[in-house]
Chain A
Amino acid sequence: MYVPGNNPGKLQSAGIYGADAVIFDLEDAVAVTEKDAARHLVACAVREIKYPCEVAVRINHISTPFGYDDLNCILEAKPDMIRLPKAEYADDVRKIADIIDKAEARHGFPHGSIKMMASIKSAQGLVNACEIAKAHARMVAIAIGGEDFIADLNTTRSVDGAELAYARSQIVVAARVAKIHAIDSVSTILDDDEAFLKEVRMIKQLGFDGKSCVHPRQVELVHEAYTPTEKEVAQAHRILAGIKEALERKSGVIAVDGKMVDGPIITRAERTIAYAAVVGMIKGDGND
Chain B
Amino acid sequence: MSFAKRQGELELTVLQKAAQAGTLESNDIMITVSPADPGDGIRIELSSPLIKQFGRQIKLVISETIQEYGLSDALVHANDRGALDCTIRARVRAAVERAARGEEQ
Tell me the A residues contacting B by CB distance below 8 Å: 7-9, 11-12, 36-37, 40-41, 43-45, 47-49, 65, 68-69, 71-72, 99
Contacts and interface: CB of A to CB of B under 8 A. Distances in A.
Contact of A65 (B1, B26, B83, B85): B1
B90 A40 contact: yes
A65 B97 CA distance: 16
Interface string B1-32: 11100110000000000000110011110000
A47 B93 CA distance: 15
B3 A8 contact: no
Nearest to B92: A40
A36 B3 contact: no
A48 B94 contact: no
A68 B90 contact: no
B93 A69 contact: no
A99 B91 CA distance: 26
Contact of B98 (A9, A11, A36, A48): A36
Nearest to A42: B90
A40 B94 contact: yes
Given A9-B28, A37-B94, A40-B94, A71 B86 contact: no
A68 B22 contact: no
Contacts of A7: 25
A49 to B, nearest CB: 6
Given A37-B91, A44-B89, A45-B86, A68 B3 contact: yes
Contact of B3 (A45, A49, A99): A99
A175 B6 CA distance: 35
Interface of B: 1-3, 6-7, 21-22, 25-28, 83-87, 89-91, 93-94, 97-98
10 interchain residue pairs of minimum CB distance: A9-B27, A37-B94, A44-B86, A40-B90, A48-B86, A44-B90, A8-B87, A68-B3, A41-B90, A72-B6
Nearest to B5: A68
Contact of A12 (B21, B84, B89): B84
Nearest to B4: A68
B37 to A, nearest CB: 27
Contacts of A68: 1-3, 6
Contact of A37 (B1, B2, B21): B21
A68 B6 CA distance: 9
A47 B84 CA distance: 13
Given A8-B27, A8-B84, A36 B90 contact: no
A12 B25 CA distance: 14
Nearest to A71: B3
Contact of A69 (B1, B26, B90): B1
Nearest to B25: A9
Nearest to A33: B105
Nearest to B21: A37
